[in-house]
Amino acid sequence: FRPNQGGPTLCPPESSASSRQTLSTMRQLYEKDFPVYKQPVEVGSFSLDSERRFFNDARQIRYYVEPPPRPKFDLRDGYKDRFVKRDDGVKEKLDHILRWILANKSKLQSSVAAASSSPALGVDIVTWRGHLTKLLTTPYETREGWLLAATLFRGTLYLSEVETEASRLDRVNCNERHQEMMYWGYKFEQYLCADDIKGSPNPGGVVNTNEAFCTVVQTKLADHKLLFSGEVDCRDRGPKAPAAPACYVELKTSAEICTPKQRSNFHRFKLLKWWAQSFLPGVPRIVAGFRDPDGLVIGTETIHISKISHLIKNESNCWKPTVCMNFCCEFLSFVRTVVREDNPRVVHLFSWDPHQDVTYSVHRDSTYCFLPPWYVEGMTS
């Protein structure tokens, strides 16, 4: 097998990378050695406040507070009267990251060799961590496809997700039960996070999903220099806490595990997503709250990211980290061979549906354009 065996006219097996039209997502193709993935380094952070305004600082950071051994966290509390939900119909694309880049332009560029062939920013790819998570899990995804818009500007490739019609329908038709369950994750955070380093959580407060603290990290996947940002739930506040991103803690909720079948499903499906999301930025641990069907958390467990691969080893037909990383790496190579025109007004739209190959289409001056004029002007001046 070789990645990307398209139709014979488009892509004979011996065709060079530059003539590839599609990319296969078949798992077997990616069962190779784990690619080099450099330890992610935090290069900055930013905050979004209760009105979703951007700040080039860490004002929204929260501190992890150990839960009691037998918690009784009611995740339904406050859903009706103390919940401010972000308007997810507003598509922010890469805007917050771009604002951060502009605000830190000199810091980023100063670390780059003056060679004219290298990208002006000193990185090959700029995107959200969440987009990379989707790429990592693609070889194992059987339900939801994705659309990723790519634009090459001053030698750097920007990747920004486009909502699929299927996910738009899921979003607008989301039923009441599901809406409430999406709140549970945020409510759990409120039980475990303090706003101040010496403070305590305030479960009586308002949950506002506009608020976010985001880390910006730089790393390298094989020969791809990456700069991406991801939302971080909280940090370790102990005196011996390591430097970011190793001090960060990801918080998750999941249904209680009562049967061997449930445990197996948790390993095979949920841990894949959890691992991919935290491994990428170098967040070392997850604190998971296990809840009953009424939204009551009665136990928590710390899961170390580095131990997940051992946890899943006994599972038959399970996912493999190397497949995830190799697919992501090959996808980025594929995009970089396809997108050659350096132009903020050109978008290559990469599209994937389960059980299909990745394909793409080209769009000029279209509604898919996502690099705003203020960014293009700010980077050019």
Residues contributing to the site for ligand 0WD (CB under 6 A): 86, 88, 91-92, 128-130, 133, 161, 185, 209, 212, 230-231, 252, 277
Parallel, antiparallel, or unpaired: how do β-strands 224-231 and 234-235 relate? Answer: unpaired
| Closest CB 233 distance from Ca ion, rounded Å | 5
| Closest CB 161 distance from ligand 0WD, rounded Å | 5
The nearer residue to ligand 0WD, 29 or 43, going by C-beta atoms, is 43
Integer Cα distance of 233 and 127 in angstroms: 19
| Closest CB 146 distance from Ca ion, rounded Å | 20
The nearer residue to ligand 0WD, 37 or 46, going by C-beta atoms, is 46
Q: Which does 85 bind (CB under 5 to 8 A by kind): ligand 0WD, Ca ion, none?
A: none
The nearer residue to ligand 0WD, 88 or 377, going by C-beta atoms, is 88
Instruction: Please name which of 348, 332, 141 lies closest in space to residue 219, comparing C-alpha atoms.
Output: 332
Integer Cα distance of 31 and 330 in angstroms: 12
Q: Which does 22 bind (CB under 5 to 8 A by kind): Ca ion, ligand 0WD, none?
A: none
Integer Cα distance of 190 and 225 in angstroms: 35
The nearer residue to ligand 0WD, 6 or 266, going by C-beta atoms, is 266
The nearer residue to ligand 0WD, 139 or 289, going by C-beta atoms, is 289
Residue whose token pair is 């090459």: 152
| Closest CB 363 distance from ligand 0WD, rounded Å | 18
**Is the link from the previous residue into 245 a cis peptide, with omega within 30 of 0?**
yes
Using an 8 Å Cβ cutoff, are 35 and 165 in contact?
no
Tokens of 303: 């899961």
Q: Which does 290 bind (CB under 5 to 8 A by kind): ligand 0WD, Ca ion, none?
A: none
Beta carbons within 8 Å of 14's beta carbon, 6+ residues apart: none
The nearer residue to ligand 0WD, 91 or 154, going by C-beta atoms, is 91
The nearer residue to ligand 0WD, 190 or 209, going by C-beta atoms, is 209
Q: Which does 283 bind (CB under 5 to 8 A by kind): Ca ion, ligand 0WD, none?
A: none
CA-only gyration radius of the chain, Å: 21
| Closest CB 75 distance from Ca ion, rounded Å | 13
**Could you list the residues that contact Ca ion (CB under 5 A)?**
233, 251
The nearer residue to Ca ion, 124 or 233, going by C-beta atoms, is 233
Q: Which does 333 bind (CB under 5 to 8 A by kind): ligand 0WD, Ca ion, none?
A: none
Q: Which does 278 bind (CB under 5 to 8 A by kind): Ca ion, ligand 0WD, none?
A: none
| Closest CB 210 distance from ligand 0WD, rounded Å | 8
| Closest CB 8 distance from ligand 0WD, rounded Å | 36
| Closest CB 172 distance from ligand 0WD, rounded Å | 14
The nearer residue to ligand 0WD, 11 or 221, going by C-beta atoms, is 221
Q: Which does 270 bind (CB under 5 to 8 A by kind): Ca ion, ligand 0WD, none?
A: none
Q: Which does 129 bind (CB under 5 to 8 A by kind): ligand 0WD, Ca ion, none?
A: ligand 0WD
Q: Which residue is nearest to ligand 0WD (CB)?
A: 130
Using an 8 Å Cβ cutoff, are 282 and 246 in contact?
yes
Using an 8 Å Cβ cutoff, are 349 and 335 in contact?
no
Tokens of 79: 């859903």
Using an 8 Å Cβ cutoff, are 291 and 254 in contact?
yes
Distance of CA 191 to the CA centre of its chain: 24
* Residue 190 burial (10 A CB sphere; 0-12, 13-18, 19+): buried
Integer Cα distance of 311 and 136 in angstroms: 19
Integer Cα distance of 101 and 103 in angstroms: 5
Integer Cα distance of 282 and 40 in angstroms: 6
Q: Which does 338 bind (CB under 5 to 8 A by kind): Ca ion, ligand 0WD, none?
A: none
Using an 8 Å Cβ cutoff, are 156 and 119 in contact?
yes
